[in-house]
A and B are shown apart, each in its own frame.
Chain A
Amino acid sequence: NAGVTQTPKFQVLKTGQSMTLQCAQDMNHNSMYWYRQDPGMGLRLIYYSASEGTTDKGEVPNGYNVSRLNKREFSLRLESAAPSQTSVYFCAARTGASYSYNEQFFGPGTRLTVL
């Protein structure tokens, strides 16, 4: 099992370009998440999907859109990239069992630089 996979691992964009970060999980988990990691700020939640067909904003959603394509895949789109979106992006997945401390499993991350 690959767990959570992300593509690409690295990306450089110019301001105004668009791109989609892909995330897939093979653990049959219901919930999926997108975080960004910036120095000195830990990981912050961008969007999440509690289950297939649903998405909700997290702490820092501005400038991003998401699609929960099916149970396995959850993509993050930057429509018009800005230098402030330079960051490391992590996708995570978790079983959606209520009142459970089941952990989130993280992908390897995508380092995005916007020039």
Chain B
Amino acid sequence: AQTVTQSQPEMSVQEAETVTLSCTYDTSESDYYLFWYKQPPSRQMILVIRQEAYKQQNATENRFSVNFQKAAKSFSLKISDSQLGDAAMYFCAYRTPAGGTSYGKLTFGQGTILTVHP
């Protein structure tokens, strides 16, 4: 079974600075997808960024980028120029392709609470 581990229960950053959230995963699959979700106090789950395992290039979405190390099974999220609105719980998630029996099920890490200081 796949597992996802976020070893940082809490992180903090000053506004406009950069912060990196860590995520490691365990899988025997060669093809899979990785995601970072943001959960603000409203509880709504919001997709931040996603990465396909077969792509060597790291995904980037505006101020958000990932460092995907497939051999090390590591998938960290870097937030640049942090803003007060980035304060939230962040979840790393893993998914195998929807074919076969997995049907797109997500396996989540424990979450990291990010605090942004003005």
Contact = CB atoms under 8 A, between A and B. Distances in A.
B42, B45, B97, B108 interface centre (most CB from chain A within 10 Å): B45
B45, B99, B104 interface centre (most CB from chain A within 10 Å): B104
B98 A97 contact: yes
Nearest to B35: A103
A100 B98 contact: yes
Contacts of B110: 40-42
Interface in A91-113: 92, 94, 96-104, 106, 108-109, 111
Contacts of B19: none
Interface stretch (A13-21, A44-52, A60-68, A73-81): A44-52
Contacts, number: 67
A106 B40 CA distance: 13
Contact of A106 (B44, B50, B99): B44
Given A98-B99, A101-B50, A103-B50, A42 B111 contact: yes
Interface of A: 31, 33, 35, 40-45, 48, 50, 56, 58, 88, 90, 92, 94, 96-104, 106, 108-109, 111
10 contacts: A42-B108, A44-B108, A50-B103, A58-B105, A94-B98, A98-B97, A99-B98, A101-B50, A103-B35, A106-B44
Given A42-B91, A94-B104, 6 more contacts: A42-B110, A45-B107, A50-B103, A97-B98, A98-B98, A101-B52
